Chains A and B, each alone.
Chain A
Amino acid sequence: MTAAARPSKPAVVGEAAPPSPKAGAERAPPVLKFEQVGFSYDGRAIMRDVSFSVGPGEILALLGPSGCGKTTILNMVAGFLRPTEGVAVVDGREIVGPGPDRGVVFQAAALFDWMTVAENIAFSLRCAGAGKARRREVAEEMAALVGLSGFEDAFPYQLSGGMRQRVGLARVLAAGPKVMLMDEPFSALDVQTRETLQEEVLRIRDRTGCTILFVTHSIDEAAFLGDRIFLLNDLQSGAYDVYDVALPAPRPNPENRLHPSFLRLRETIYRRMRH
């Protein structure tokens, strides 16, 4: 746990299981840091005094009831909103606006329906002035990375919900972000697609070393793909619970859903949320 975290209760630390592959991450300088961040909508405080930091390559799962401020946190990291108090820092620099170093995967994908899959994926390169051949090359590479090879020339409306989210992932990855922000990206998908994509996220993290902030409603999802879980139960006073996930590497392993450590963590969080 980082020094900046202010858990409301003693953290439930990982059990006697092999160390998390990212155990060393917290000692490296953090990629993302919140320092006593507060946010108010029109004078109404949503959160106050929130501090935490996230290490390189770490997946931080944000879990909490609807309306507690998860999306607001993500929007501040993305640069869509500015903290009304405190500072949010990425890579040592205060966040002042959106940028390609922080990619966002939206719940409804928010793809550009007028562009092909390849054009969607290569959008950041187009904005940066890359040539046609280079854009195609990266689009094909990223499509392969997320399992969309052969769909480069399809339009988003020709794809299933799961495939649309794969495009959303690929277009963020093409920008080579330091941090990926995912706001309940799989909550509208069927269970099977959701689980496959959760494994995909872990695989992508292993391959790219990207730091990920993952907002979810689902305890299972948080416990399966998070390295740490923040249970945001009282952001009004900046308090949250921290749980370390202790699952054996390699992480993208569906068997982990049956691992005793996974089952115990799920139960602990469930009981905690229930009162």
Chain B
Amino acid sequence: MTRSEARRARLRYVLVATLSPLAILALWALVAWRGLASPIILPPPSAIWTSFLDMAANGYSGVPLWTHVAASLARVSVAYVAGAALGVALGLLRGRSALIDAVLLAPSELLRPIPPLGLIPLFILWFGVGETSKVLLIFLSVLLIMMVNAQAGVRAASLDSLRAAQSMGANRWQVFRFVVLPSALPQIMTGLRVAMGTALTILVASELLGGDRGLGFLILDASSFFRTTYVFAGVALIGLIGLATDRGLAWAGRRIVHWEGRR
């Protein structure tokens, strides 16, 4: 592909990716405008925008909107960073050491199929309904996802590249640092995107546990008072956070693992 062809293809991609949500929005507005759905169930986009502006100006339940957003972001980022760091470390160790893999196999495989939301009652029992439960729930989900991905990534190193490194004098640590780790990076970057999606899901769920701030709290509270437009505005904010972080991670991934898919 020539450079100008590639640029045109990229432009077309961005155009379609922008038009598709606009089309959905237009269809939605049409349905609402024709009165095909009750405004309690499906309010028109304009009403949601109005509610959003209201929250931005006056806050929600006595707390500024940005405090809700910040509370959610703080929880998710602390849990995500810590969970990803530990998960990647454990996954890499499991990939390199049969002993560590054996130690962690049963505990992690028993935990993995349990939906994190199923753990909520236990977490409330152990850690109460405060910040600890919320953060730990997200932390645990991210950790499990990243552990699996990092461990699978370790296996991506080709036998030839491992042998090449050894025959050029690399010791065990150097083989790991210069070959195994870079080979695992594409899978780790993919895992980071999956884990971010999951982290945001668990975030909303965990904020249903209680507390008086956070986007999850806002959504739950608004829905129990049938303030559907506020529910939608909250959901849209979380969606936008998800979209932005995913695009950010995808962009970072393309820079960090620039060699992926180019062989």
Contact = CB atoms under 8 A, between A and B. Distances in A.
Interface string B175-190: 0001100100100000
Main secondary structure of the interface of A (DSSP, over half): loop
Given A110-B158, A114-B259, A78 B168 contact: no
B16 to A, nearest CB: 28
24 contacts: A78-B163, A78-B167, A80-B167, A98-B163, A98-B166, A99-B167, A99-B169, A100-B167, A102-B167, A103-B167, A103-B168, A104-B163, A108-B160, A110-B158, A112-B164, A112-B178, A112-B182, A113-B263, A114-B182, A124-B168, A126-B178, A127-B169, A157-B259, A172-B168
Contacts of B169: 99-100, 124, 127-128, 175
A106 B160 contact: yes
Interface string A164-175: 000000011001
Given A100-B168, A113-B259, 9 more contacts: A98-B166, A110-B158, A110-B164, A114-B185, A114-B257, A123-B170, A126-B178, A127-B168, A172-B168
A218 B168 CA distance: 28
Contacts of A115: 178
A262 interface: no
B258 A155 contact: yes
Nearest to B169: A100
A113 B179 CA distance: 10
Interface string A149-169: 000000111000000000000
Contacts of B160: 106, 108, 110
Nearest to B258: A155
A105 to B, nearest CB: 9
Contact of B170 (A103, A106, A127, A156): A127
Contacts of A14: none
Interface of B: 158, 160-161, 163-171, 174, 178-179, 182, 185, 257-259, 262-263
Interface residues of A, number: 29
Contacts, number: 72
A100 B164 CA distance: 10
B183 to A, nearest CB: 8
Contacts of B167: 78-80, 98-100, 102-104
Contacts of A114: 182, 185, 257, 259
B258 to A, nearest CB: 7
Nearest to A100: B169
A132 to B, nearest CB: 15
A56 B247 CA distance: 57
Given A100-B167, A171-B168, A127 B174 contact: yes
A260 B182 CA distance: 51
Nearest first, the 6 A-B pairs at minimum CB distance are A110-B160, A113-B259, A100-B169, A124-B168, A157-B262, A114-B182
A127 B171 contact: yes
Nearest to A107: B160
A90 B177 CA distance: 29
B181 to A, nearest CB: 9
Contacts of A172: 168
A259 B259 CA distance: 44
Interface string A78-118: 11100000000000000001111011101010111111000
Contact of B178 (A102, A123, A128, A156): A123
Contact of A157 (B165, B182, B263): B263
Nearest to B168: A124
Nearest to B263: A157
A123 B165 contact: yes
A13 B262 CA distance: 48
Contacts of B170: 123, 127
Contact of A106 (B164, B171, B257, B262): B164
B161 A110 contact: yes
Contacts of A112: 161, 164-165, 178-179, 182
A78 to B, nearest CB: 6
Contacts of B168: 100, 103, 123-124, 127, 171-172, 175
Interface string A16-41: 00000000000000000000000000
Contacts of A128: 169
A195 B171 CA distance: 36
Contacts of B262: 113, 157
A171 B164 CA distance: 10
Nearest to A79: B167
